[in-house]
Amino acid sequence: MSHHRFFIAIGFRINVLLVGCCLVTGFLTLSGDVNADHHESTQAAKFGRFQTGDTVAYGIVDGGRIVQLSGDPFGEWEKTETSYSLDEVTWLVPTQPGKVLALAGNYRDHLGDHPAPANPEPFFKGPGSLIPHGANIEVPTDNVHYEAELVIVIKKRASDVPVEDALDYVLGVTCGNDVTERDWQKNDAQWWRGKGADTFGPCGPFIATGIDYQNLEMTLLVNGEVRQQSNTKMQIHGIAETVSFISRHVTLEPGDLVFTGTPGKTAALRAGDTVEVVIEGVGTLSNPVVKEPTHVVAMAPAEPADMRSIFNGVDLNGWDGDPRLWSVKDGAIHGETTAEGAANGNTFLIWQGGRTKDFELRLSFRCNATNNSGIQYRSRHIDDDSVPNKWVVRGYQHEIRNEIDLPSVSGFIYDEGGKRGRMCLVGEQATWEADGNKQVTSTLISAEEFQQLFKLDDWNDVIIMADGNHIRHYLNGRLILDFTDADPDSALLDGVLALQLHAGPPMWAEFKNIRFRDLPSD
């Protein structure tokens, strides 16, 4: 199986959540005062880890909204004044664990004729297998099975913990699906890929605290049909015993996860399925199933003879932006913010010489690592009283960063000022469908290949080609993103070209050798 998936940190957007058998808009707080403003996480509540724009945070569920927290549920936290509708955020894996363990054979009806183990039987499951609610499970064969599981979330460092104290080290529980390729599990000496392959660890979206973890109804559905059903009271080894046993041998840290085994029989998933794990009082984990994408390598086309320079290398003639922040240095456009000369919101240097409809753009860039920049295209210039400065642009953005670790690198498409966030990640060949869902069909570059391709602290070459609703991004001669925007209500087909300086920490970005051409009409 290919190990080139990049969405663990990003998560996926969803429009509907279920909790138990009810819509999440009917979410009830369990008990305890979740309306208090300052806490250590001891009482009943539901937490989620989410992203909106560039903000990644924990929140606490309050009705149909998630209230952003200052801090996290592993220690002290405070509610902020910021909240979001549950359907407008991108859900992430609930924690960033150093370790993920799982139990084998913890329900008698899953063991068949095998005897029940005398002790919990944990094994390691790679953290790289984790994906959030809504992300695709990628099946490389026809023998990939579902396994509904309750997942323990560790609250604090646990080493050699007695059983009677073990629950003090548990923050709460979340939903999990211990996806398993049965032939690999059977034939490999270890379960490193059978249970630890990329996308084989869906979990989330909520961490439920302060409930009776040993008496929860658990159901798994495939395409709405019940396939597994049990109660956590049927576990052979309960949560307290499991945490205590593991902690005698392996120290558990805050955020570590323990999958607690699956009940009954399992069966294979097929591309096109949707699998849901529903746990009483915890929530619903839902993931589409797709065929594992193929890996495609494509190089940039040769530069056409009709490319024209749109920057003279001397001054900013033909460009418009905040004169405090933009200048020309050593033949390059230089944008810089400082503590004294800060940007009032995201601000842009806007090209005045044409529009970006069907086009090809080539340039070189470099920037520092304190903040991110971008290349806007097919975008709108917003110059009314609703924005903080005269040079605000919204639309498609080619992200610019001086980083090499996917997914937060140069080249992904971001919906600047819009609601779709990171629309297409580096490495994806994908389509944003008319129904608002993204389908990834191929992998264009791996994490390791990108690290080799990108030049840290140096000039990198970019090509952007947009023809109708088909967009391609190239970096240093290689195709890194291939995106089709098939959403008729959101796709952008025309607009301005601009370069970004991001609000926030001081930063600089430089651009040179900027060439442009309109693509010929059919």
Note the pLDDT tens digit of each residue in 208-266: 999 999 999 999 999 999 999 999 999 999 999 999 999 999 999 999 999 999 999 99
Dmax over CA atoms of the chain, in Å, equals: 80
Dist CA 191 CA 3 (whole Å): 15
Encoded tokens for 324: 């405090």
Query: CA distances (Å), 222 to each of 145, 148, 173, 273, 349, in order?
Result: 11, 11, 22, 7, 50
The reported pTM is 0.59
Collapsing DSSP to helix, strand or coil, 109 comes out as: helix
Q: What is the pLDDT of residues 23-33, one digit of tens each?
A: 333 333 333 33
Written as one string, the DSSP assignment of 41-105 is S-SSEEEEEEEETTEEEEEEEETTEEEEEEE-TTSEEEEEEEEEETTSSEE--S---S-EEEESS
* Residue-level pLDDT at 114: 86
Q: What is the pLDDT of residues 326-354, one digit of tens each?
A: 999 999 999 999 999 999 999 999 999 99
Query: CA distances (Å), 60 to each of 26, 32, 283, 319, in order?
Result: 15, 13, 14, 45
pLDDT higher than 90, residue 16: no
Mean pLDDT of the chain: 90
Encoded tokens for 88: 């407008």
Q: Which residues contact 58 (CB under 8 A, 6 or more apart)?
A: 47, 48, 49, 50, 68, 69, 71, 72, 73, 77
**Structural domains of the chain in order of their starting residue, each with its CATH number:** 8-111+122-286 (3.90.850.10), 308-518 (2.60.120.560)
Contact 47, 207 (CB under 8 A): yes
297 pLDDT band, cuts 50/70/90, is confident
Which residue did the predictor score with more confidence, 11 or 327? 327
Q: Which residues contact 74 (CB under 8 A, 6 or more apart)?
A: 41, 155, 156, 171, 254, 255
> How many other C-beta atoms can be found within 10 angstroms of the C-beta atom of residue 265?
11
CA 361 to chain centre: 28
* Residue-level pLDDT at 12: 38
* Residue-level pLDDT at 442: 87
Contact 308, 517 (CB under 8 A): yes
pLDDT higher than 70, residue 42: no
Dist CA 97 CA 451 (whole Å): 23
Encoded tokens for 10: 């990003």
